Structure formats: C-alpha cells, structure tokens
C-alpha cells in the first residue's frame, strides 16, 4: 500500500511531453525553465538492454529539442543536508565526479566523518568534500552550516534540502507516538524551512544560486495511510516552494522541487511489506542510479520554479510494460534481498566499504 500512493504522485503535474520525458518541468502555476537529461550507461543484462532501447528512442528527440541546454563544466559549490547516507550520499558522490565542491551535513558526527573521509579518498585533487555536524531542526545549526559553506567554498551555487525522515514508524496517526510526530514534522517541514532561510541569507546578496526541496510520497495530496504525517509534510513542500518563488523573484535565486522517485534507502525499506518490496523491483532504483540521472539536471537548471524528477511518466510506463524483465531485481517473492545490488556503484574501494556498511544496516531493518 505504501508504494501505490507514491506511484499516483508520479503521474500528477503539468508540463509538456518533452519536459516530462526530461524529468524537468515547471511547477504548476509557475513559469520555469527546463534542463538537459543525463545519458546513463547501461549494462548487458536483459532488463538493462530494454532500458537502453527505450532510452535511445527518447534521448535523440530530447537532444534535438534541447541542443542548447548543456551541463555546466565549471566546478559548482554544493550543500546537501542529510548527505551522509542514502540519496544524499549518492548525490554528493555524483557531484564530486563532476568536480564540484561539496559540503554535506548530518546529525551523526561519526557517520558524517566517515562519509567525508571515504568520499574524499575517492575524489582527490581540486574536488573536495567537507562535513558539518548539524541538525536541520535547529535554526542556529542551519545558519552555521550556510555560513561555513559560504566561507569555505567562497559561495554557494546549489543547496539541496535532502534531510528527511518517516520516524521509522508505519502506523495510523492514532498509534503514532507524539515524539515521532514532532520528529517527522520538525525534520521534513520545519527543517526545510530553516534550510531555505539559511541558504537565502547567503545567496540573495550574491543574486545567484539554486535551492532544491526534496519531496516524496504524499506530495500530490493523495492518501498515505500509516505514514500520514510523513505524507502531510511532503504535501506542504510544493506550497512552500511556490511561495518562496513568489517571494524571491527579485533576488536572482532559484527555488525548485527535487523528486527522486522510489530510492532504495533505509527510509523506504524500513516499513515496506513483502508485497511492496516486490513492487520495488519495478519502480525503485538505487541511490547511485538516481543520482546519475538527477545531478546533470540539477547542475543545468536555470530560472526558478522547476520540478526536477527521476521517475518521469514515460519511465513509469516503460517499467510497467517491461515488468517481467524486472522480477527479482532487488527482492525475491518473499521480500528478501537478492543479487549483488548495493546503494551505489562507486569507483573506489573506499566508497564501496561505506556503501556496504549502509546496505548491512538496511538489511537489518528488513529482518
């Protein structure tokens, strides 16, 4: 049941067919611009070859239509909250591959330090990653994060409000502990507001930069039973983003939504049923693959008020049309993890060790 509301969210929204294929479209009611699509490499398995064939049919049109849209080749200065694991870690690793300078934050200093150490080992030279122990629910921490990043990097080009939680609770609101409700709301909503405010404080004077607010299940307003609080916080983010777009028109700062789709992280897997896990074989993806698709779009975005998406409508349709080739990709019929998949496909042994640690933690949450 947890997967179906999310699927509904992926079909909601406006934009042209070309933009839907690209995964970058204007927010409903907001003028915006589009960015280019990334061209991912594909392996030799049958399901990967199927993805490759459909990609070859769509990207040629996208290239012609958006031939003037190119990913910036200069090093960008990036801040990612909740960047020590999951999709945040994947985004950080991918930005480093482009030569960007990255600051990640997290509440767990030990995990943050380890992530920074191993990411740095994989990205030597001018590319670097810095870590700041910070809690997004604390406004002072967010201000400190923004000031530190601005001082160390000489400015901020991209700020991603990625930190989020479902409290690892899969219960009706009536059964959800009060402290868990407060944790979910303060992290997902209040934390995003604090992050936007802190980022704007350093970006607005420079009249540059882009802020991305990460959304998830519930964003379109559909029911999210047993994780209603999480869904409510994600539903609030498009409204917040639209309001900020209106408020910041004269600042030169872009405000956007970021929709990663179903990403295989502890957040998604913590409350997934056996049926949901089998469903993930069709629509879910590992953080590294999602990051490979999203980061070029993030780096190429311009203007304000866009929604950058991984799980676009054509991609959903294609995945369902070829569901048979995806059976058992991540989970067997009993919902047990199968195969050799990880949360990333790194280019260094150091990152592999980090991802293996995260994968082990996720498997513990399933068992």
* Those residues with Cβ within 8 angstroms of residue 104's Cβ, 6 or more apart along the chain or in another chain: 79, 80, 81, 83, 84, 88, 89, 92, 112, 115, 116, 119, 129, 130, 131, 132
- Of 98, 170, 194, 230, which one is the catalytic site residue? 230
The sheet with strand 129-133 has its strands ordered as 24-26, 306-309, 254-259, 210-214, 158-161, 77-80, 101-106, 129-133
* Those residues with Cβ within 8 angstroms of residue 264's Cβ, 6 or more apart along the chain or in another chain: 280, 284, 285, 286, 287, 330, 341, 343, 362
Q: Which two tokens stand for residue 164?
A: 């989020």
Give yes or no: 230 in active site.
yes
Under 8 Å between Cβ of 355 and 265: no
DSSP E strand boundaries for the chain: 24-26, 77-80, 101-106, 129-133, 158-161, 210-214, 254-259, 306-309
Running DSSP on this structure, what letter comes out for residue 105?
Answer: E
Under 8 Å between Cβ of 217 and 235: no
CA 24 to CA 258: how far, in whole Å?
A: 9
**For tokens 């700041």, what's the residue?**
132
CA 164 to CA 233: how far, in whole Å?
A: 10
Neighbours of 360 (CB within 10 A): 9
* Residues belonging to the active site: 230
């Amino acid at each position: 049941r947890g997967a179906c509301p999310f699927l509904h969210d992926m079909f909601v929204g406006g934009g042209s067919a070309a933009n839907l294929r690209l995964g970058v479209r204007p927010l409903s009611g907001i003028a915006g611009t589009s960015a280019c699509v990334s061209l991912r490499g594909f392996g030799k398995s049958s399901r990967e070859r199927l993805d490759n064939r459909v990609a070859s049919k769509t990207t040629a049109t996208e290239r012609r239509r958006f031939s003037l849209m190119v990913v910036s080749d200069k090093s960008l200065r990036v801040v990612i909250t909740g960047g020590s694991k999951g999709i945040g870690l994947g985004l950080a690793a991918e930005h480093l591959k482009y030569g960007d300078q990255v600051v990640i934050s997290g509440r767990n200093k030990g995990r943050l330090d380890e992530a920074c150490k191993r990411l740095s080992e994989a990205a030597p030279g001018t590319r670097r990653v810095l870590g700041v122990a910070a809690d997004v629910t604390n406004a002072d921490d967010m201000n400190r994060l923004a000031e530190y990043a601005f001082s160390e990097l000489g400015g901020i080009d991209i700020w991603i409000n990625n930190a989020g939680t479902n409290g690892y609770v899969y219960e009706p609101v009536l059964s959800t502990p009060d402290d868990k409700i407060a944790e979910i709301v303060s992290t997902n909503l209040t934390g995003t507001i604090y992050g936007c405010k802190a980022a704007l404080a350093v970006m607005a004077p420079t009249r540059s930069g882009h802020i991305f607010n990460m959304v998830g299940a519930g964003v379109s307003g559909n029911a999210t039973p047993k994780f209603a609080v999480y869904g409510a916080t994600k539903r609030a983010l498009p409204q917040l983003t639209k309001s900020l777009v209106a408020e910041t028109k004269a600042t030169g700062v872009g405000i956007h939504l970021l929709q990663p789709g179903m990403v295989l992280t502890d957040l998604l897997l913590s409350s997934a049923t056996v049926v949901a896990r089998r469903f993930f074989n069709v629509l879910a993806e590992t953080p590294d693959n999602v990051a490979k698709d999203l980061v070029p779009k993030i780096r190429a975005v311009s203007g304000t008020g866009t929604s950058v998406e991984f799980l676009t409508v054509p991609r959903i349709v294609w995945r369902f049309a070829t569901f048979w080739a995806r059976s058992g990709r991540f989970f067997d019929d009993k919902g047990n993890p199968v195969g050799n998949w990880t949360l990333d496909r790194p280019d260094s042994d150091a990152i592999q060790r980090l991802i293996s640690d995260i994968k082990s933690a996720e498997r513990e949450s399933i068992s």
